[in-house]
């Protein structure tokens, strides 16, 4: 692995797969997932999110999250946990109460209770937690107008990291976002500022997670990726990781686009190997039919390493060559 702590793949619960129209059981999928020579780490793609873990105020449900967490234990994978405070896939009750109606005290208590409940339940099991996910906007890299930000301002981020540090001292605490892979983007600058803001407040922030949902025909160079990571380290992050890697292609794919994709994957692998603070790479699942890309970005797909039917993308060998 050329100095990386892990190379892994996120996975969803079979129930979620079924809801997406696939069968729950895929022996070949399970075998590839379990194979330690393929993946040493995993992340639940959905089960630990607020929508599932605290569907009603103070009522916790760990059914979905536990499935992937116990699978990780059974198959000996390092576990990244995802995500505590995020505006998306949030339980409707957090937003249903109009933000003008939450007082700062109420919403702060809601955040603390959520982190205590979820992180407390998984205490000691997570190598890392995405404590705050996607708090920055795409336009100018400032704060996103989420319910959390509208009520509490940037204090919600400090509160989340402060609470997380108390609840599970053994988990690395990450800020995680997308579109923060290029060194000069406004969002990358915003991420560096966010890390500094937490450090200046005396809070623990261990890592920056670059989701890295990339495009085959337009991705950063390895040098850009390295510069970005060094920027986060300079801002005070002890480590960085590629947390949700996929490289989407305009479908149907062809030889050229698959080569571009291979190049994108190799650049990430090469950059991570070069930067000693880069601890690992997580694919956002590994089997194309289970990828979120076709649902979310119509016309795009084939972003992972195994095609439908389990043939491998050229990028698979490309990554192996890089390590």
Using CB under 6 A, list all residues that contact ligand XIL.
45-46, 83, 133, 178, 211, 244, 292
Structure tokens at 232: 């986060």
Candidates 257, 249, 255, 262; CA nearest to 299 is: 249
Question: What are the distances in angstroms from CA 264 to CA 54, 110, 246, 312, 316?
Answer: 37, 40, 9, 16, 12
- Residues 41 and 272 sit within 8 Å (Cβ to Cβ): no
Least distance in Å: CB of 211 to ligand XIL? Answer: 6
CB of 253 to ligand XIL, least distance (A): 20
In the complex, what is the shortest distance from the CB of residue 209 to ligand XIL, in angstroms, rounded to a whole number? 9
The Cβ-side half-sphere exposure at 283, using a 13 Å CA radius, reads 29
Please work out, in degrees rounded to the nearest 5, the angle formed at the alpha carbon of residue 11 by the alpha carbons of 6 and 17.
Answer: 170
Residue number, 43 or 261, with CB nearest to ligand XIL: 43
DSSP at 36: T
Give the span between the Cα atoms of 115 and 129, in whole angstroms: 11
Residue number of the CB closest to ligand XIL reads: 292
Minimum CB distance to ligand XIL smaller for 46 or for 188: 46
172-177 and 128-133 beta bridge pairing? parallel
Q: Which of 88, 40, 85, 45 is nearest to 67 (CA)?
A: 45
Based on the residue annotation, tell me whether 134 is a catalytic residue of this protein.
yes
Rounded to a whole number of angstroms, the minimum distance from the CB of residue 128 to ligand XIL is 14
- Beta carbons of 141 and 192 less than 8 angstroms apart: no
Looking at beta carbons only, is 83 or 229 nearer to ligand XIL? 83
Q: Cβ closer to ligand XIL: 133 or 191? A: 133
**Cβ at position 290, least distance to ligand XIL in Å:** 8
From the candidates 134, 181, 226, 239, which is the catalytic residue? Answer: 134
- Specify the residue, 4 or 180, whose C-beta has the smaller distance to ligand XIL: 180
Q: Which is nearer to ligand XIL, 114 or 270 (CB)?
A: 114
- Please classify residue 267 by burial: count the beta carbons closer than 10 Å to its beta carbon, then call 0-12 exposed, 13-18 middle and 19+ buried: buried
CA angle 125, 127, 133 (to 5 degrees): 105
CA dist 170 and 165 (Å) reads 8
Residue 244 is among the residues annotated as catalytic for this protein: yes
In the complex, the smallest distance separating the C-beta of residue 297 from ligand XIL, rounded to whole angstroms, is: 11
Active site residues: 134, 244
């Amino acid at each position: 692995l050329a100095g990386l702590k892990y190379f892994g793949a996120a996975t969803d619960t079979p129930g979620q797969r079924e809801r997406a129209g696939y069968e729950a059981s895929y022996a070949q999928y399970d075998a590839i997932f379990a194979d330690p020579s393929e993946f040493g780490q995993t992340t639940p793609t959905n089960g630990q999110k607020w929508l599932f873990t605290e569907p009603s105020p103070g009522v916790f449900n760990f059914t979905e999250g536990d499935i992937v967490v116990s699978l990780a234990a059974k198959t000996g994978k390092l576990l990244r946990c995802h995500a505590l405070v995020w505006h998306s896939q949030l339980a409707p009750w957090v937003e249903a109460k109009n933000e003008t109606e939450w007082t700062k005290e109420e919403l702060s208590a809601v955040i603390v209770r959520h982190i205590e409940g979820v992180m407390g339940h998984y205490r000691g099991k997570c190598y890392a937690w995405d404590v705050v996910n996607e708090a920055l906007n795409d336009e100018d890299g400032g704060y996103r107008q989420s319910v959390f930000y509208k009520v509490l301002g940037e204090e919600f981020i400090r509160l989340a990291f402060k609470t997380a540090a108390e609840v599970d001292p053994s988990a690395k605490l990450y800020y995680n976002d997308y579109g923060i892979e290029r060194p000069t983007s406004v969002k990358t600058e915003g991420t560096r500022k966010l890390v500094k803001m937490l450090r200046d407040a005396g809070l623990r922030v261990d890592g920056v997670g670059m989701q890295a949902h990339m495009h085959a025909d337009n991705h950063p160079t390895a040098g850009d990726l390295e510069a970005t990571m060094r920027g986060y380290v300079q801002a005070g992050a002890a480590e960085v990781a590629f947390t949700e890697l996929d490289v989407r292609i305009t479908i149907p794919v062809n030889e050229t686009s698959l080569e571009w994709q291979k190049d994108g994957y190799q650049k990430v692998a090469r950059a991570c190997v070069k930067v000693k603070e880069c601890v690992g790479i997580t694919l956002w699942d590994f089997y194309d039919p289970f990828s979120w890309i076709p649902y979310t970005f119509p016309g795009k797909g084939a972003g992972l390493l195994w095609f439908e039917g389990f043939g491998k993308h050229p990028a698979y060998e490309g990554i192996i060559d890089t390590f």
